[in-house]
Amino acid sequence: MGCLFSRRRKPAQSEQQQAAVGAGREAAAGEEKAPQYSWDQRAKIDPKDYTFSGLKGETVGRLPGKVAGQQFIIQDCENCSIYIFDHSATITIDDCVNCQIFLGPIKGSVFFRDCKDCKCIVACQQFRTRDCRKLEVFLCCATQPIIESSTGMKFGCFQYYYPELALQFKDAGLSIFNNTWSNIHDFTPVSGENNWGLLPENTVVQDYVPLPSSEELKAVRISTDATKSIIPVTRGRRQKSSDESCLAVFFAGDYTTANARKLIDEMTGKGFQLVQTKEVSMKAEDAHRVFQQRASEFIPLLEKGPVVALEFSGDGAVEACQSTINDVFSGTKVFVSESKASASQDVDNFYNFADMQMGM
């Protein structure tokens, strides 16, 4: 008799049947566990989303977050207003005529070719033009701007603000303190002629590149007020109003940028001019060259990160800067020129070193 809990044995499968079942299981497992690759998961990029081409008399742009570090192309546009309110990898602008252009922070290069009668606001790592005529550019450029076979070029200091701009500069790897906007290199100079110059000091940015008129782009909260500009507005190579200059250097910390901006506000509010700014890393040997007798005081601070240097100009600049540092930054370690006699040398020592570090 059979036991109550006994089970009837299934008939044995043939080898052929077993092979078929095994193959089916392997196929099912393969379908379930197909390998996933990062490039398969990326969103497909449509080049049309990163190109403005052949436009006439239009206002177009990209809102913050819509370019997100991609490269962009602008070509064959005429009588257009173009706004890229985001950071990008590189941008090329070809064969554009009578356009107003805003370009947010560019991690690499921006290259204008065969353009004429354009007005631009640009922030970039590298700036170059070739075969261009009559470009007026408010520029922030981390390296020396280069023009080639170009005439009638005019430059001013970048001044612009909208809430997302500071983070876009960071995403593009650009420092708001490294701006060589007026240090132009003409690759093809012509004897007896000057292919470039500087825009007047009292130039109003909106007179050159008006705020966008389209409903979509009006959503960007823009200010062209120089006091709100994300980039400190500097005199660059314009003639100084005084022979007296002062150097102030802030060392890396939680509030370095805020402290530097505060000192700029304090000094310019008193009528002094901000000539140039720089953010650069320093080593111990650099400190001896720049800070000289006081080097040992600052060397331990250099390991924390880059320093931010500011040059101010104006009669009484040294005394005013020292007084402001003592009154406003009493708990902050700051190098500031000790006397009018040493200030010019301090400035030369620091900026000669900084230019060498940045390959300029």
CATH of residue 338 = 3.30.70.141
DSSP states of 125-141 = EEEEEES-EEEEEEEEE
3-state secondary structure 7-52: CCCCCCCCHHHHHHHHHHHHHHHHHHCCCCCHHHHCCCCCHHHHEE
Same domain flag for 259 and 127: no
Q: Is 126 annotated as a binding residue?
A: yes
Asked if 182 and 164 touch (Cβ cutoff 8 Å), the reply is: no
Same domain flag for 176 and 244: no
Domain C-terminal end among 161, 182, 207:
207
Per-residue pLDDT tens digits for 275-323: 999 999 999 999 998 898 899 999 999 999 999 999 999 999 999 999 9
Same domain flag for 130 and 202: yes
Per-residue pLDDT tens digits for 183-223: 999 999 988 889 999 999 889 999 999 999 999 999 999 99
SS3 2: coil
Give the number of domains in the chain. 2
Is there a domain that residue 55 lies in?
Answer: yes
Identity (one letter) of the amino acid at 4? L
Total-model pTM: 0.86
Same domain flag for 55 and 183: yes
Q: Is 213 annotated as a binding residue?
A: no
Which residues form the domain of 263?
240-359
Q: Is 53 annotated as a binding residue?
A: no
Per-residue pLDDT tens digits for 48-96: 899 999 999 999 999 999 999 999 999 999 999 999 999 999 999 999 9
Q: Is 125 annotated as a binding residue?
A: yes
Q: Is 242 annotated as a binding residue?
A: no
Contact residues for 243 (Cβ-Cβ < 8 A; gap 6+):
344
Is there a domain that residue 42 lies in?
Answer: no
Same domain flag for 150 and 87: yes
Same domain flag for 144 and 288: no
Per-residue pLDDT tens digits for 327-337: 999 888 999 99
Same domain flag for 82 and 161: yes
Is there a domain that residue 16 lies in?
Answer: no
Q: Is 127 annotated as a binding residue?
A: yes
